[in-house]
Amino acid sequence: MLPLSSPLLASWTASVEHRRLVRIAAVLFCATLIAATAQVSIPLSWTPVPLTLQPTIVLLSATVLGARLGSACLGVYLVAGMAGLPVFAWSPGLAPGIGRLLGPTGGYLLAYPVAAYLVGRLAERGMDRRYLTAVGAMLVGLGVIYLGGAAWLAVLGAPAGQSGTAAALGVYPFIVADVVKLALAAPLLPSLRRFTVGR
């Protein structure tokens, strides 16, 4: 049995601590990036949901971080938003804070951790190692996000001055752009994966 003062044990402890710090930093970095992309949104006249890069960044983060860290990242993001920090995308008539979850984008926001966990689990099973399977895994997550968003829009109903089904308001306008963004972002995965250690 190695004594507590063993250089090998000290090296192992330092390595474990380093990996832990890298993982925490990766989670915080991805949560910050998700918050930053929320600030760049394009309102669309025919839907209450703005166009953002968030779904792409959420799914990339989950693929890189894995299930546990990916869902933790989105948990950190949601907690920050509910606490009143300006991390959610702009929503007309709603102040920053937990009230944003009751607005038209609330379903998407609450679906993010679920999608992150699922995509992270698929990545841990090796689907992030090839381009087509990585895109496929992220498309599964995108479907979860759309499902959450459309379900909540169905509950809220169409805002004044707008009409259409929940899918017409919250899914169809974004499919092509989101799929293209995922297809273009997937080649970044090998480089992004270097931010984590022993996922």
d(CA 38, CA 71): 18
pLDDT digits (tens, 9 = 90+) for 31-84: 999 999 999 999 988 888 999 999 999 999 999 999 999 999 999 999 999 999
Q: Is residue 1 part of a domain?
A: no
Report DSSP state, residue 56.
H
Q: Is residue 197 part of a domain?
A: no
CATH number of the domain encompassing residue 180: 1.10.1760.20
Q: Is residue 198 part of a domain?
A: no
| C-beta of residue 38 within 8 angstroms of C-beta of residue 7 | no
Q: Is residue 2 part of a domain?
A: no
Q: Is residue 47 part of a domain?
A: yes
pLDDT digits (tens, 9 = 90+) for 84-131: 999 998 877 777 889 899 999 999 999 999 999 999 999 999 999 999
Q: What is the pTM of this model?
A: 0.87
Q: Name the residue with higher pLDDT: 56 or 16.
A: 56
Q: Name the residue with higher pLDDT: 186 or 90.
A: 186
Q: Is residue 6 part of a domain?
A: no
Q: What is the pLDDT of residue 2?
A: 47
Residue with tokens 């910050």: 32
Q: Which of 57, 27, 43 lies closest to 89, judged by CA?
A: 43
Q: Is residue 79 part of a domain?
A: yes
Number of domains comprising the chain: 1
d(CA 28, CA 146): 25
Q: Is residue 7 part of a domain?
A: no
> Domain containing 80: what range?
13-191
